[in-house]
Copies of this chain bind each other. A is one copy, B any other.
C-alpha cells in the first residue's frame, strides 16, 4: 500500500517537472486526461505564473473544479494574474458560495473588469474581448510609446495593436500597429505611425461572427471594442477569433446535421447530455414527419388502386430532400460569410427557381429512362399504362426537386427573419418539409395524369 503511494508520488513529481518545461498548450492537453482532483494536486506543485498560463488557455477542461481544490488565497492571486476574459469565464464555472468568496478576495481593478465582462451576452464581442490592452495619449512620441510598451508588456494580452486616445476625452483616436511603430521615427508623434482614417472598431454587442468577418476582411491582429462615446472598453485578439471561427463552424455543421450544437468535444460529452442534444430535434422531426403518414392515409384509395405508385415514393421523396439540402447548405454558408443579406432573398429565389427546374428536369429524365428500360428489357412489369406511370414519376420529380430547391433556399431566410439562427435550417428539417409536400405533389400529379386509366 505504501509502495503504491510512493510510486504515485514519484509519478506525480515526474509529471510536475514535465509540466514546467513543455509548451503550455501541450501541458493542457496532457492535464485534460486527468481528473480534476489529480490536476489540483499537480497544479499545487507549480509556480503561480505557470498556473496562470495554464488557466489562461480556454482548452483547459474542468478548470472550475480544479480551482475549487486549491487554497482560496492562492486562487485569488492566480485569478488576478489571468487575462480578464479568461478569469471571467473561469468564475462563471465556479459554483456559489465559492464564487462570491473568491470575487470578494480580488483586488478592485480585477473585480470591476470581471463584473463588466460578465455582463456581456454570450456570443458577443464583449464576451470574447479582454481589458488588458495598451493605450497611450495622442500627444506622446513614438519613443515614449515604445518605452511604455516595454514596461507593461508582461501584463497585456497583446501589444501588437496600440490604442491612441485623445488626452482630454480619452476617446479612441487611432489604433496603431507595433509594426508601423517600430518602423517610425522615434521622436515623431505616435500618430505618425497610424493611418489617416477612422480606426476599425466594434461594439461590445457586435456578434462574434461579424467580428470574425472583420478580421478576415481587414487582416487584423486585434480590434478595439468601443462604447457609444468611442471609449475603448476592451480589445478582441486574433487567437480568440480563431477559436470563435472553429466553434461557430462546428456549431453550424452540427445544427445542419439536425441536432443541437454540443458544447464539448464528442469524446468528452456525457451520454445523457448527448441524448438530450440529439433526441429533441429527432423527436420534433419525427412528429413533423408523421404528417407523411396522414398524407398517405388521405391517398389510401389511390394507393390501393395503383400499388405501382408506391414503388417510387422513397425515390421521389429523397430527391426532393437532397436538392433542398444542397440549397440550404449554400444559403447558410453565404449568410454566415456575409456574402448575402436577408434583403437578398428574392435574388436567391430568382437563382434557385431555374436551378431547381433544371435539376428536376435532369432527375425526371433519369426516372423516365429507368422505368422505360426496366419495362422494355423485361426486368419488371409496370402494367399496360407504364408510359403514363413513367410520365407521372418524371413530372413528379420535376415538381418536387424544384420545390425542394425553393424551400431549402428560403427556409434559412424565413428563420433569420423570425430571429432564429438560420443554421437551424438543417438537412433533416428541410427533408421533412419537402417529404410531406412532396407526397402531395406526387399524388396530385398522379391524379391528373392517371385519372381515367389507373386512378
CB pair A318 B279 closer than 8 Å: no
Minimum CB–CB distance for A293 against chain B, Å: 5
Considering the chains assembled together, what is the distance between the CA atoms of A452 and B196 in angstroms? 87
Tell me, rounded to whole Å, the shortest Cβ–Cβ distance linking A269 to chain B: 9
Asked whether any CB of chain B lies closer than 8 Å to the CB of A363, the reply is: yes
For A282, give its contact among B146, B197, B289, B323 (CB under 8 Å).
Answer: B323
Q: At the interface, yes or no: A4 with Cβ under 8 Å from chain B?
A: no
Shortest Cβ distance from A404 into chain B, in angstroms? Answer: 10
Judge if A119 is at the interface, Cβ distance under 8 Å. no
Q: Mostly helix, strand, loop or mixed at chain A's interface?
A: helix
* Contact A328/B257 with A297-B311, A314-B439, A334-B266 known, Cβ cut-off 8 Å: yes
The one of B216, B257, B362, B363 in contact with A330, judged by C-beta atoms closer than 8 angstroms, is: B257
Given contacts A182-B159, A256-B256, A363-B286, contact A321 B200 (CB under 8 A): no
Which has the most chain B C-beta neighbours within 10 Å: A25, A289, A333, A367? A333
Determine if B266 and A340 form an interchain contact, defined as CB atoms under 8 angstroms apart.
Answer: yes
Q: Does A359 contact B (CB under 8 A)?
A: yes
The one of B300, B313, B355, B439 in contact with A275, judged by C-beta atoms closer than 8 angstroms, is B355
A362 near B279: Cβ-Cβ < 8 Å: yes
B183-A285 in contact (CB<8A): no
How far, in whole Å, are A318 and B290 apart by their CA atoms in the complex? Answer: 10
| One of B282, B315, B351 near A292 (C-beta < 8 A) | B315
Whether B182 lies near A282 (C-beta < 8 A) is: no
Structural contact, A312 and B293, CB atoms closer than 8 A:
yes
Interface residues of A in 354-401 (CB under 8 A from B): 354-355, 358-359, 362-363, 366-367, 370, 380, 401
From B265, B329, B435, A318 is in contact (CB under 8 Å) with B435
| Per-position 1/0 for A281-325, Cβ under 8 A of B | 111011101101100110010011001001111110111011101
Interface hit among A87-95, A120-128, A223-231, A244-252: A244-252
A-B contact pairs, 21 of them (CB 8 A): A21-B196, A216-B242, A238-B238, A250-B337, A257-B328, A258-B325, A258-B326, A265-B337, A266-B339, A266-B340, A267-B339, A275-B359, A285-B318, A285-B322, A289-B314, A290-B370, A296-B313, A297-B380, A310-B310, A310-B313, A313-B314
